[in-house]
Structure 1
Amino acid sequence: MSQTRKKTSSEGETKPQTSTVNKFLRGSNAESRKEDNDLKTSDSQPSDWIQKTATSETAKPLSSEMEWRSSMEKNEHFLQKLGKKAVNKCLDLNNCGLTTADMKEMVALLPFLPDLEELDISWNGFVGGTLLSITQQMHLVSKLKILRLGSCRLTTDDVQALGEAFEMIPELEELNLSWNSKVGGNLPLILQKFQKGSKIQMIELVDCSLTSEDGTFLGQLLPMLQSLEVLDLSINRDIVGSLNSIAQGLKSTSNLKVLKLHSCGLSQKSVKILDAAFRYLGELRKLDLSCNKDLGGGFEDSPAQLVMLKHLQVLDLHQCSLTADDVMSLTQVIPLLSNLQELDLSANKKMGSSSENLLSRLRFLPALKSLVINNCAFESETFTALASVIQTGHLAKLQKLDLSYNDSICDAGWTMFCQNVRFLKELIELDISLRPSNFRDCGQWFRHLLYAVTKLPQITEIGMKRWILPASQEEELECFDQDKKRSIHFDHGGFQ
C-alpha cells in the first residue's frame, strides 16, 4: 500500500482525496452531523498529514482516485472487524486476537498514519516473528510516543529489529515489553539506541527473564535517561545479582516517580542497597517492593534514607515476611511520609503482635486514602489501637480499608471497630471477610456495623465473605436493604 501514494498532478485531484482521508480518520459512517459539516469545511484545503504522506520518498502515483478510496475502505474495514474505530494518533489493537494476516493488514495501514503517537498491540501472540515488518515502517510513524508490545511472544530476531528501529522514533516516551521472555539476555540489543537526551519517560519490563547482565547494562544506562519517570522491573528475580549497579544508576534519575521491584528476589541486603539510592529520589511517588519473601529483617536497622521520600504517595510492602523488628523500624519511618495516600502491609503475619504502635501512629498520615492490612494475624489489642485513631478523626480521608483474613479477632475486637467505623466519612470500600477455609458465626457487632453504614454517605461495598448470620440478623439485613435510599453491596457469599 505504501507504493500507492504520491501527490497528484493537480489541486483538483487532491481535494477529494483529502476529504476521503479525513473521513477515515474521524471514524465510521455513524459520526454526527456536526462532524459531517466539519468535513465539508476541510475540503477547501489539504490536511497537513496528507501533504506529508504524499511527498514521501517511497510514494508512487495512484492509478486512480478509485484505487485510493478502495485502499482507505480496506483499512477502515480492518479496524471495524476488530471492533475498533478509525484512528489518527492512537492505534489500540490490544488483545484483539490478531492473526498473521491481520498483522500484514496493520502494517499496510501504518503509511496512512504519519501522525500516530500511540501503538498498542499487546497480548497478541501472533505478533512474535513478524515485528521486522513493523519496524521497517517505523520511519513513517516517527512521531510515535507510546509503544506497547506486552505479551507478544517476541523472538530474538524481533527484539533485535526493535532495537534498530528506536533510532527512527526519537520522540518515544513510553515503552512496554512486559511478559516477553526473549527480552531477557537481549536488553542491550533493545535499548542500545537510547542515548543521553532520550525522551523516554516510562520503561516496563515485567517478567522478561532479565539476567544479571541485563541489570548491569540497565544500571549503566539509567544516568542517560534523565526524563525517566516510571521504571518497572517486577518479576525478574535474577536482577538481584546486579542490584548494586541498578541502585547506582538510580542515583542519577532524579525525576523518577514510580519504582516497582515486585517479586524480584530482594533480600535483607537489598534493602540497604536501595536505601542508599533513596536520598536521590526526592520526586518518587510510588515504591513497590512487595512479594519479596526474603526481604524480612531488611528494615530492622531503620533505613534512614526512606524518610527522604517526602512526596511518596504509595508504599507497597505486602508479603515481605516483615519481622517484629522491621515493624518497629517502620513505625519510626512511615509516619514521617506525610503525603502517603496508599499503604499495603498485607500478608505479613509477624505483624500481628507488633503493629499496635504502627497503627496508632497512622494519625500522622492525614492524606491516607487506602489502608490494606489483610492476613496479618492481628489481635484485638491491635484493633483497639486502630479504633483510637479512627474515633479521633485522623483517618478522615480513608476510602478503602481491607481488614480481611484476620480471623483471630474476637467479637469484642469487632465490636470496638464497628462502633467507630462510622467516623470514616469518606469510606467507599470495607472488607472484613474471613479466610476461605473458615466460617464463623456473626456476633452482635453486626448491628453496630449496620448502624455505622447509615452514617457513611460514600460507602458502596462491604466484603463479609464466610460470616454466617443467624435468622434474626439476616432479617435485619433484608430490612436494611429495603429501607436504604442508596445502593450498598454486601458481599456475603458465605451466609447460611
Structure 2
Amino acid sequence: MSRTEKKSSSDEETTPQAPLVNESIRGSKSRFPKAGSRKESIDPKTTDSQSQNKIPKTISDLAKTLTSETELGSRMEENEWFLQKLGRKAVNKCLDLNNCRLTAADVREMVALLPSLPDLEKLDISWNDVIGGNLHVFTQQMHLVSKLKILRLGSCRLTAEDVRALGEALKVLPELEELNLSWNSKVGGNLPLILQTLQEGSKIQTLEFVDCSLTSEDGVFVGQLLPRLQNLEVLDLSINRNIGGSLNSIAHGLKSTSNLKVLKLHSCGLSQKSVKLLDAAFRYLRELRTLDLSCNKELGGGFEDTAGLATLEHLEGLDLHQCSLTADDVLSLTHVIPLLSSLQELDLSANKEMGSSSENLLSRLRFLPVLKSLIISNCALESETFTALASVIQTGHLARLQKLDLSYNDSICEAGWTIFCQNLWLLKELTELDISLRPSTFRKCGQWFRHLLSAVTKLPKITEIGMKRWLLSASQEEELQGFDQDQRSSIHFDHGGFQ
C-alpha cells in the first residue's frame, strides 16, 4: 500500500524516463531575402554615394543574422550535449531533471539553457541535494521562463535563503499552476515568504508541502491565503504534525475553495475537534474527489456526527487508515459511506476497534456500485464480518472490485475463510487479493485452500495473491504446484511463509 509518508516511486527512479526541453531549442531557419525579391525604387535625385551607403547596412544586417544563427546552433549543440550527459531526452516545453544527481556545475549549465527555453512550461529538479544553497543561481534568471506552469523542487535541501529567494522569484511567474516544495524542512516557518505574492485571481491549482516542518503559524497563513486561490484543486499538507493546532483557520479557508478536488492531511496531528471543523467545511467542497485523513491517531471519536461528509457526492477516494476509529465512529460511517455512491477506493485499515462493529458497515458496501479498492487490513475482523462481506459478494454488488486487502486479520476462523473463498469467484474484475497473516503469526491452511484455488481459476484478471505465513500441508503443496503448471501460471502466489 502506498503511503504519503513514503517517497513517490516515480520520484525515486534513477532510470532516465522523462522529458526535457521545448520546441525553442530546435530553432528555426531564418529566411534570407532572395535576389530580386525586393524592388528598389530609383530616385533620379538620389546620388551614387547615398545608394552605396545602403549596401554596408544590408551586409551588416546579414552578418548579425548569421551570427545569431551560429549562436543558436551552438546553444542547441550545448543543450543536446547537456541532456545526453544526464541520460535524458527532449520533449516539448518540459525540462525534467529530477533525481539526476546534479552537481553545482550542472546547475550552472541548466541556468545557461534558460535563454533558449522561453516557452518552458514544466521544470522538475526534485531529489537533487545540490540545489540547496544554489537555488539563487536559478531564481535570478527565472524571468527568462515567465511562462512556467509547473515548478517542482521536492527534496532539494532548500535553505532558508533559497526559500526567501524563491518567494521573490515567484513574482515573475504569473502563469504558475503547480508548486511542489515537499520534503524541504526549511519551508517550515517561512511559508508566508514564499506564497505572499499569490494574489486574488492566481492561476495556482496545486500546492504540495509534504513533510515541510510547517508551523502552526504557517497553518494560520494557509487558512488566510485559501480564499484568494479560487482555482486551487489540490492541497497536500501531509506529515506536518504541527498544523493540527491551526486547523480552525484552515477549515475556515477551505469554505472558499469550491473547486478543490484533492485534500490530503495525512499525519497532521488532527484531533476529534478537527473532524468537526472539517465536517463543517465539507458542505462547501462539493467537487472533492480525494480525502486523506489517515494516520491521525487522535481522530478517534470524531466521526460520531459527520453529516457534512455525506455531502461529498463526487468523492472517489477516502483514506481513514490508522485513525483509531471507535465503535461509534464505525456506526456513524455505516450511515454515511453508503451515500458516497461515487466512491472507488476505501481504506479503513489499522483500526482495530472495527472488529466487533464492522459487520453492518461491510454489508452496506452494496450501495457503492463503482468500488474498485477495499483495504481493511489489520482491523481485528471477526467471522461474522466475513459472512457479511460474502452476502454482499454473492449478490454481485462488488462486481467492479479490483483490489481486496484482508491481511493481518488473524482471528478469522476456518468457517469464515471457507464462506469467503466459496464466493470469491464472483469478483470477476479482481486483480489483487491479500490474505497474509501478521509477521508474528503462522497458521495451517484449512480446507478452504481448495476453495481458493477453485475460485482463482474462474477469475480472469487475477495476477497477485498474498498468502504470507500460511502453512501448507504436503498435499496442499502438490495442489499448488499442479496449479502453477497449468495455463494459469501467470498468477503470482506470494507465499513466503510456507514451510
Range into which the TM-score falls when normalised by the shorter chain? 0.7 to 0.9
Equivalent residue in structure 2 for 1:249, among 249, 253, 264: 253
Counterpart Cα distance in 2 of 1:62 and 1:323: 76
Letter in 1 for 2:77: E
Counterpart Cα distance in 2 of 1:466 and 1:129: 48
Identify the residue that residue 30 of structure 1 maps to in structure 2: none
> Is the contact made by 1:25 and 1:86 (CA closer than 8 Å) also made in structure 2?
no
Alpha-carbon shift at residue 77 of structure 1 (Å):
1.3
- Partner of 1:459, secondary structure, is coil
Alpha-carbon shift at residue 64 of structure 1 (Å):
7.3
- Partner of 2:458, secondary structure, is coil
Q: Where do 1:278-293 residues align within 5 Å?
A: 278-293=282-297
Letter in 2 for 1:93: L
- Partner of 2:308, secondary structure, is helix
Change (3 A) 1:44 1:486: farther
Counterpart Cα distance in 2 of 1:475 and 1:84: 49
Equivalent residue in structure 2 for 1:304, among 280, 304, 307: 307
Sequence identity percentage: 81
2:114 pairs with 1:98 = no
Q: Which is worse superposed, 184-193 or 128-137? A: 128-137
Identify the residue that residue 145 of structure 1 maps to in structure 2: 149
Alpha-carbon shift at residue 412 of structure 1 (Å):
1.1
Letter in 1 for 2:455: A
Letter in 2 for 1:399: Q
Alpha-carbon shift at residue 484 of structure 1 (Å):
2.0
Equivalent residue in structure 2 for 1:389, among 389, 392, 407: 392
Structure 1 or 2, whichever has the larger Rg, is 2
2:188 pairs with 1:179 = no
TM-score, length-normalised on structure 2? 0.87
Show structure 1 runs of 5+ residues with no match.
1-20, 27-38, 47-59
Letter in 1 for 2:264: K
Equivalent residue in structure 2 for 1:402, among 395, 402, 405: 405
Change (3 A) 1:45 1:223: farther
Equivalent residue in structure 1 for 2:444, among 441, 448, 452: 441
TM-score, length-normalised on structure 1? 0.87
Change (3 A) 1:212 1:44: same
Equivalent residue in structure 1 for 2:229, among 212, 225, 230: 225
- Partner of 1:222, secondary structure, is helix
Counterpart Cα distance in 1 of 2:441 and 2:472: 14
Counterpart Cα distance in 1 of 2:351 and 2:477: 34
Identify the residue that residue 86 of structure 2 maps to in structure 1: 82
> Is the contact made by 2:22 and 2:91 (CA closer than 8 Å) also made in structure 1?
no
Counterpart Cα distance in 2 of 1:222 and 1:23: 35
Change (3 A) 1:332 1:171: same
Q: Deviations over 1:368-410 (max 9, x none)?
A: 0000000000111110110110111010010000000101111
Letter in 1 for 2:408: Y
Change (3 A) 1:446 1:139: same
Q: Where do 1:469-484 residues align within 5 Å?
A: 469-484=472-487
Identify the residue that residue 367 of structure 2 maps to in structure 1: 364
Q: Which is worse superposed, 368-377 or 82-91? A: 82-91
Counterpart Cα distance in 2 of 1:441 and 1:476: 15
Alpha-carbon shift at residue 72 of structure 1 (Å):
2.4
Alpha-carbon shift at residue 138 of structure 1 (Å):
1.3
Alpha-carbon shift at residue 75 of structure 1 (Å):
2.0
Counterpart Cα distance in 1 of 2:180 and 2:489: 41
Alpha-carbon shift at residue 88 of structure 1 (Å):
3.1
Identify the residue that residue 270 of structure 2 maps to in structure 1: 266
Letter in 2 for 1:199: K
- Partner of 2:430, secondary structure, is coil
2:128 pairs with 1:154 = no
Identify the residue that residue 376 of structure 2 maps to in structure 1: 373
Letter in 1 for 2:255: K
Alpha-carbon shift at residue 492 of structure 1 (Å):
0.8
Identify the residue that residue 51 of structure 2 maps to in structure 1: none
Alpha-carbon shift at residue 354 of structure 1 (Å):
0.6
Letter in 1 for 2:475: S
Show structure 2 runs of 5+ residues with no match.
1-20, 33-63
2:422 pairs with 1:419 = yes
Counterpart Cα distance in 2 of 1:215 and 1:295: 19
Identify the residue that residue 12 of structure 2 maps to in structure 1: none
Equivalent residue in structure 1 for 2:459, among 435, 445, 456: 456
> Is the contact made by 2:303 and 2:332 (CA closer than 8 Å) also made in structure 1?
yes
Alpha-carbon shift at residue 79 of structure 1 (Å):
1.0
Alpha-carbon shift at residue 61 of structure 1 (Å):
8.8
- Partner of 1:304, secondary structure, is coil
Q: Where do 1:88-127 residues align within 5 Å?
A: 88-127=92-131
- Partner of 1:86, secondary structure, is coil
Equivalent residue in structure 1 for 2:134, among 130, 136, 144: 130
> Is the contact made by 2:287 and 2:314 (CA closer than 8 Å) also made in structure 1?
yes
Counterpart Cα distance in 1 of 2:298 and 2:174: 40
> Is the contact made by 1:185 and 1:214 (CA closer than 8 Å) also made in structure 2?
yes
Alpha-carbon shift at residue 157 of structure 1 (Å):
1.1
Identify the residue that residue 431 of structure 2 maps to in structure 1: 428
Superposition CA RMSD, Å: 1.9
